[in-house]
Amino acid sequence: MSLDNTDDRDWMNESSCAKPEYRQEIEIFFSSKYEDRHKAKNICYSCPVRKDCLKWGLENKQIWGIWGGRDEDEMRRTLSVNVDGAEVRRSRFPICPYCSANTKYLKASIVDKPGGGRWTTMRIVECLECNFKWRSRTSANAVNAFHALAQEKAAKKKAKKTKA
Ligand code: SF4
Ligand SMILES: [Zn+2]
């Protein structure tokens, strides 16, 4: 799925959870029980459209249920939002929602939005480990905050060493 077309849902035709054998138990994707979530995530991990699903879920701010193998808490952490969908600075920075790489491997940038109309640019986050990309202003803010903090810490460490 391309970055500029978040309404493209063709991938849904290939989804494992839409198969008749799983459709019966679709509620496990929205359950709060650990066993249900575990079962749902396992279905996702062998789903041929996991990447598209995860990307669509993030770009359309799906913060309830399981998307692409990630539960709602993981989706909120990635997006840096609370249960109401409002941006918050969480205690844990996002990790790559696709390959679980640490925040230090995530890079936020501003790119042109093809046919952008009123909004001509968009903010994306990319994982340098697996190349998974998603569009999200709040994720980008969190990733930038992580790198700013890391730079600040490194500068303080350097200053201490210089003084010593
Ligand atoms: S990744 Fe999971 S939630 Fe997404 S389409 Fe596949 S099975 Fe369904
Ligand atoms: Zn990754």
Averaged confidence pLDDT in the chain? 90
Residue 48 lies in a domain: yes
Q: Is this prediction's pTM over 0.85?
A: yes
Q: What is the pLDDT of residue 151?
A: 93
For the chain, give me the number of helices (H) and strands (E)?
5, 3
Is the CB of 44 within 6 Å of ligand 1?
yes
Cα of 113 from ligand 2 centre, angstroms: 23
Is residue 141 one of the residues assigned to a domain?
A: yes
Provide the domain limits for residue 106: 10-163
139 domain residue, yes or no? yes
Question: Looking at ligand 1, which atom is closest to the CA of residue 18?
Answer: 8
Tell whether 55 is covered by a domain. yes
DSSP string, 34-88: HHHHHHHHHHHHT-TTHHHHHHHHHHTT--SS-BTTB-HHHHHHHHTB-TTS-B-
* Distances, alpha carbon 87 to alpha carbons 47, 71, 94, in Å: 30, 18, 13
* Higher pLDDT among residues 99 and 156, named by residue: 99
Establish if 115 belongs to a structural domain. Answer: yes
**Number of domains composing the chain:** 1
Considering the domain boundaries, does residue 98 fall inside one? yes
Q: Ligand 1 atom closest to Cα of 14?
A: 5
> Residue 114 — pLDDT band, cuts 50, 70, 90?
confident
Spacing, Cα 161 to ligand 2 middle (Å): 34
Is residue 62 assigned to a domain? yes
10-28 per-position pLDDT tens digit = 899 999 999 988 878 899 9
Residue 134: pLDDT band with limits 50, 70, 90: very high
In a domain, 30, yes or no: yes
CB atoms under 10 Å from CB of 37, counted, come to 19
